[in-house]
């Protein structure tokens, strides 16, 4: 998921408004300095009371720790977004020898897909029959990867709903992310919407020195965008924003300590 989700603007044409270092189409905060902020312990994490604090940046990557942190985090506040303006995605973790892996997909190339070819999490727009975004995340993951999270996974929690640069009907499109862990080892079978499924080690993503950037010129304006580069693949944009929400939580103090 993609464009205009945080970055450093090299030049801003007259038709855009520059506000606090970003153009008016940007709907997510600039996260290009996240690695520096993590090193200097200046990232703020919301507590369940709604207050903010600066956490200790000790990053633990075990699934046991992740379960505790997400259980303590609770459910983010529902922004009251209409279901027909919402999409949902699944951030799926599995146990691995060097620490948990996080599942990404690379979307198939398609001219009508705004995230064509991008790295992201499985998911899609809420259908009328879904009832709620969680159902959408489970359904879309089943359709895109033949991965049944009801059968082979467990819900760990939810991340904040994020607004995209796209519009759907009378309002913007919002994305609700949910975090799962695998309880089995099913074979992933990508459908026509997915080029490949990729497991990325969570310790790699938790290491600030692995953060990178690139210059995006998708709309003619050069913008330096934050990203991760993993084995030739680029993780950036809206997916990176949601990933950062997860990583900041995981860098908060372990509630068991």
For 64-94, letters b (16+ CB in 10 Å) and e give: ebbbbbbebbeeeeeeebeeebbbbbbbbbb
Report mean pLDDT in 10-residue bins for the chain, 257 residues.
45 37 36 37 35 37 90 74 86 95 90 72 92 94 98 96 71 87 97 95 95 87 93 94 95 70
Predicted pLDDT of residue 157: 95
**What is the C-alpha to C-alpha distance for residues 178 and 94, in angstroms, rounded to an integer?**
14
Backbone angles phi, psi at 38, to 5 degrees: -65, -40
Predicted pLDDT of residue 134: 94
Predicted pLDDT of residue 114: 58
* Tokens at 107, concatenated: 């979307």
Are 162 and 241 spatial neighbours (Cβ–Cβ below 8 Å)?
Answer: yes
3-state DSSP helix/strand/coil percent for the chain, to nearest 5?
25, 30, 45
Predicted pLDDT of residue 167: 58
Are 94 and 197 spatial neighbours (Cβ–Cβ below 8 Å)?
Answer: no
> What is the set of domains in the chain, with CATH numbers?
8-250 (3.90.79.10)
117 to 30, 96, 107: CA distances (angstroms) = 23, 27, 5
Predicted pLDDT of residue 79: 63
**What is the C-alpha to C-alpha distance for residues 178 and 176, in angstroms, rounded to an integer?**
7
Are 133 and 99 spatial neighbours (Cβ–Cβ below 8 Å)?
Answer: no
Output the CA torsion sign for 39, 245, 189, 168.
negative
Predicted pLDDT of residue 169: 57
What is the DSSP pairing of strand 8-9 with strand 119-120?
unpaired
Predicted pLDDT of residue 54: 32
pTM score of the predicted model: 0.75
């Amino acid at each position: 998921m993609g464009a205009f989700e945080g970055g450093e603007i090299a030049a801003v044409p007259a038709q855009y408004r520059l506000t606090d270092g970003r153009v008016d189409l940007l709907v997510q905060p600039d996260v290009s300095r996240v690695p520096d902020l993590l090193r200097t312990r200046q990232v703020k994490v919301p507590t369940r009371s709604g207050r903010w604090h600066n956490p200790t940046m000790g990053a633990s990557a075990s699934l046991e720790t992740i379960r505790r942190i997400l259980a303590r985090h609770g459910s983010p506040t529902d922004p009251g977004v209409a279901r027909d303006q919402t999409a949902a995605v699944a951030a799926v973790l599995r146990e691995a020898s060097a620490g948990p892996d996080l599942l990404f997909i690379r979307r198939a190339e398609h001219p009508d897909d705004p995230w064509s070819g991008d790295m992201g999490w499985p998911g899609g727009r809420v259908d009328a029959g879904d009832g709620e975004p969680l159902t959408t995340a489970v359904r879309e993951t089943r359709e895109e990867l033949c991965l049944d999270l009801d059968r082979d996974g467990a819900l760990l929690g939810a991340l904040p709903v994020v607004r995209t640069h796209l519009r759907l009907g009378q309002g913007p499109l919002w994305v609700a992310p949910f975090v799962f862990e695998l309880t089995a080892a099913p074979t992933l079978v990508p459908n026509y919407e997915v080029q490949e499924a990729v497991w990325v080690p969570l310790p790699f993503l938790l290491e600030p020195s692995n953060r990178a950037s690139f210059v995006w010129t998708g709309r003619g304006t050069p913008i330096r965008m934050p990203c991760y580069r993993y084995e030739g693949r680029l993780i950036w944009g809206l997916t990176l924003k949601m990933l950062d929400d997860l990583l900041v939580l995981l860098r908060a103090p372990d509630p068991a300590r």
